[in-house]
């Protein structure tokens, strides 16, 4: 542990672990984020608490060799990884070819990947990343810091339209007025992202930020070869364990293993993603006849039918995956914060979890921070209060109730059920909302425009990541157009606070703002789950539905 001394805030973290204001999992997460190697962090945690705390086995146990893994997944457009918007569908294709600088495991611990280590300054502003030696692109060239920096700068270019801007705006971007007079962003300083030597690069933040390594694993942050100009497809160069050899939209994607993978021998000969379409029963039939070995993720509708098949194994994990019913504060009648709060007060999360998820999930508190997030803060309960909702509506000038329309995509049945349940609950408070159903593809055309809509949000490892992506002023994924200066300021401070107790205090304030003023009604968090053939070895369910072909083996 020669570099322990260099890691700032470790003493503070150790003290929190010792006096039990932080649990061991959190200790390891933060120590790892700040640059301590994960095994060292686990060991240190053990020595402080006096209990042995073995890290989950990360070494690849002997996986059976050979075979083609066939996975059911929607085969959608994958041309532009830096502006992906799905994660489960698109990034799970390119993920087999393109890798990431860091790796956040299923416990939320961020570990080395293309970067073998990193260090951060005491003020949490200067992050230095060391790239692992000997990483080669499949086509033969060496992976260097120059490549990493090219990718980082590209995702921060507003013209690319990457959601990374939402994550990094607070600490790496300045707002400016573009040539056309419209608001845009630029990297805050010329040396914000700099190459130190061929295997080292540095990120200089405007304000302290603790989650930089975690952000580097966000799915649009795939590392591409600069010569391909951000376009991904068959034959694209990658550092990953596989090569994409065939791709047919809506049908299938075929991967072949990269025999010279830097990470060592890959167990599978190849992988296929097969699209079974919109009908969830088609996937059930495909698993029953063993045409597929598994699904990237299963739907609650498929649960009973798949559970009944003896050759399948069930995997699940609690997550911060949710759907929010969000209102645009610039559209009537949602322009009045009292109306927005009334909708929250009139909804009944416990009932909605039962109805929409068959109990496979948790109630939400309308602030998008989940108990599955380590920086979640427990604040005063926000119980259902129909009388309170009516009172607020009257104060807002709607003594006879209020009317509205919610747009709901039909591509996830549980979201539709959630909306239907909520609409029924709102009726009791005199809130009359009409549901307009839309096919998913059509909804994603207008998701940032409809006055009131239901949008799926996948898991992110930290609650401040969710808040930064979706509610910070002016970021691409701020679908409601929500803008609250106080919220933005607290969020930026929270992003730079390593002390978990202090961070939670800030998150508590953000949660309160969301409940009082925010743009969403958010009654549920769902557990994500899937089924895989028992022949599939080495698979674990990642909370973000990520699939890692290089960790999987297939029994003959």
Alpha-carbon Rg for the chain, nearest whole angstrom, is: 23
* Interface with another protein (CB under 8 A), residue from 106, 265, 285, 350: 285
Nearer to another protein, 13 or 167 (CB): 167
Q: Where are the beta strands (DSSP E) in 214-282?
A: 242-248, 252-257, 270-274
Q: Distance between terminal CA atoms of the chain?
A: 42
* Interface with another protein (CB under 8 A), residue from 1, 249, 265, 350: 249
The answer to whether 409 touches 439, Cβ cutoff 8 Å, is yes
| Local structure of residue 228 (DSSP, 8 states) | G
The answer to whether 91 touches 81, Cβ cutoff 8 Å, is yes
Size of the site for another protein (CB under 8 A): 44
CA torsion through residues 208, 212, 215, 221, sign: positive
Asked if residue 79 binds another protein (CB under 8 A), the reply is yes
Asked if residue 250 binds another protein (CB under 8 A), the reply is yes
Per-residue x/- mask for another protein, residues 151 to 190, rule CB under 8 A?
----------x------------------x-x--------
Minimal distance, residue 254 CB to another protein, in Å: 8
Nearer to another protein, 254 or 372 (CB): 254
| Tokens read off for 52 | 């042995």
| Span near another protein by CB under 8 A; candidates 189-197, 281-289, 497-505, 530-538 | 281-289
* Interface with another protein (CB under 8 A), residue from 136, 252, 535, 537: 252
| Span near another protein by CB under 8 A; candidates 280-288, 391-399, 452-460, 464-472 | 280-288
CA torsion through residues 236, 239, 244, 245, sign: positive
| Tokens read off for 51 | 């209990």
Asked if residue 400 binds another protein (CB under 8 A), the reply is no
Asked if residue 476 binds another protein (CB under 8 A), the reply is yes
d(CA 138, CA 129): 23
* Interface with another protein (CB under 8 A), residue from 1, 18, 189, 231: 231
Going by C-beta distance under 8 Å and a sequence separation of 6 or more, which residues neighbour residue 335? 329
| Local structure of residue 101 (DSSP, 8 states) | S
The answer to whether 92 touches 195, Cβ cutoff 8 Å, is no
The Cα diameter of the chain in Å comes to 70
> In the window 427-446, what residues touch another protein (CB under 8 A)?
439-442, 444-446
| Local structure of residue 378 (DSSP, 8 states) | -
Nearer to another protein, 62 or 309 (CB): 309
* Interface with another protein (CB under 8 A), residue from 61, 177, 289, 400: 289
d(CA 512, CA 366): 10
The 3-class secondary structure across 172-216, one letter per residue, is: HEEEEECCCCCEEEEECCCCCEEEEECCEEEEECCCCCCCHHHHC
| Span near another protein by CB under 8 A; candidates 95-103, 114-122, 274-282, 398-406 | 274-282
Q: Which helix (H) or strand (E) holds 68?
A: strand 68-72
Asked if residue 288 binds another protein (CB under 8 A), the reply is yes
* Interface with another protein (CB under 8 A), residue from 73, 85, 497, 544: 85
> In the window 452-471, what residues touch another protein (CB under 8 A)?
none
* Interface with another protein (CB under 8 A), residue from 65, 290, 307, 534: 290
* Interface with another protein (CB under 8 A), residue from 93, 210, 224, 292: 292
d(CA 526, CA 123): 37
Nearer to another protein, 166 or 238 (CB): 166
Per-residue x/- mask for another protein, residues 119 to 158, rule CB under 8 A?
----------------------------------------
Closest CA to 132 of 120, 117, 149, 147: 117
d(CA 134, CA 249): 34
| Span near another protein by CB under 8 A; candidates 89-97, 242-250, 374-382, 495-503 | 242-250
Asked if residue 87 binds another protein (CB under 8 A), the reply is no
Per-residue x/- mask for another protein, residues 334 to 363, rule CB under 8 A?
------------------------------
Nearer to another protein, 21 or 291 (CB): 291
Q: Go through the chain and tell me how many residues it has.
A: 556
Nearer to another protein, 214 or 479 (CB): 479
Peptide bond into 333 cis (omega under 30): yes
Residues that bind another protein (CB under 8 A): 68, 70, 77, 79, 83, 85, 161, 180, 182, 231, 248-252, 272, 274-279, 281-292, 439-442, 444-448, 476
């Amino acid at each position: 542990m020669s570099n322990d001394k260099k890691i700032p805030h470790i003493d503070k973290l150790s003290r929190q672990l010792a006096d039990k204001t932080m649990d061991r999992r959190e200790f390891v997460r933060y120590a790892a984020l700040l640059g301590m190697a994960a095994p060292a962090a686990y060991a240190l945690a053990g020595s402080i608490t006096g209990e042995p705390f073995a890290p989950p086995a990360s070494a690849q146990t002997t996986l059976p060799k050979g075979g083609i893994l066939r996975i059911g997944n929607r085969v959608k457009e994958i041309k532009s990884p830096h502006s992906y918007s799905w994660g489960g569908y698109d990034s799970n294709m390119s993920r087999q070819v393109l890798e990431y600088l860091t790796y956040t495991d299923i416990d939320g611990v961020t570990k080395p990947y293309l970067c073998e280590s990193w260090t951060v300054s005491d003020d949490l502003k200067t992050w230095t990343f060391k790239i692992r030696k000997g990483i080669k692109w499949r086509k033969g060239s060496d992976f260097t810091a120059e490549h990493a920096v090219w990718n980082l700068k590209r995702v921060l270019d507003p013209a690319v339209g990457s959601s990374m801007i939402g994550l990094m705006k607070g600490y790496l971007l300045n707002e400016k007025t573009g040539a056309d007079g419209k608001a845009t962003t630029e990297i805050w300083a010329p040396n914000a992202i700099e190459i130190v030597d061929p295997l080292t690069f540095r990120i200089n933040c405007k304000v302290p930020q603790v989650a930089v390594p975690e952000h580097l694993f966000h799915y649009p942050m795939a590392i591409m070869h600069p010569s391909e100009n951000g376009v991904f497809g068959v034959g694209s160069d990658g550092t990953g364990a596989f090569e994409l050899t065939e791709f047919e939209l809506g049908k299938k994607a075929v991967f072949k293993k990269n025999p010279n993978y830097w990470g060592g021998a890959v167990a599978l000969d190849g992988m296929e993603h097969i699209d079974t379409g919109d009908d969830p029963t088609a996937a059930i039939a495909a698993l029953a006849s063993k045409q597929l070995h598994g699904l990237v993720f299963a739907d609650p509708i498929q649960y009973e039918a798949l559970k009944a098949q003896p050759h399948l194994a069930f995997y699940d994990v609690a997550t911060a995956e949710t759907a929010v019913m969000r209102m645009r504060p610039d559209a009537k009648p949602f322009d009045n914060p009292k109306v927005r709060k009334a909708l929250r007060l009139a909804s009944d999360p416990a009932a909605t979890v039962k109805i929409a998820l068959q109990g496979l999930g948790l109630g939400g508190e309308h602030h998008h921070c989940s108990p599955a997030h380590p920086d979640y803060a427990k604040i005063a309960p926000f119980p259902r209060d129909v009388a309170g909702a009516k009172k607020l509506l009257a104060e807002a000038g709607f003594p006879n109730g209020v009317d509205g329309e919610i747009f709901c995509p039909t591509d996830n049945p549980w979201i539709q059920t959630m909306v239907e349940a909520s609409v029924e609950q709102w009726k009791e408070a005199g809130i009359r909302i009409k549901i307009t159903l839309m096919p998913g593809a059509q909804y994603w055309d207008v998701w940032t425009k409809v006055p009131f809509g239901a949008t799926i949000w996948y898991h992110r490892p930290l609650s401040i990541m969710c808040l930064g992506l979706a509610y910070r002023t002016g970021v691409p994924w701020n679908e409601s157009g929500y803008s609250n200066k106080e919220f933005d300021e607290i969020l930026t401070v929270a992003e730079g606070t390593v002390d978990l107790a202090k961070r939670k205090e800030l998150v508590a304030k953000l949660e309160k703002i969301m409940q009082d003023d925010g743009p969403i009604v958010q009654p549920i968090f769902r557990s994500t789950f899937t089924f895989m053939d028992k022949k599939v070895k080495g698979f674990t369910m990642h909370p973000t539905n990520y699939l890692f072909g290089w960790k999987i083996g297939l029994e003959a």
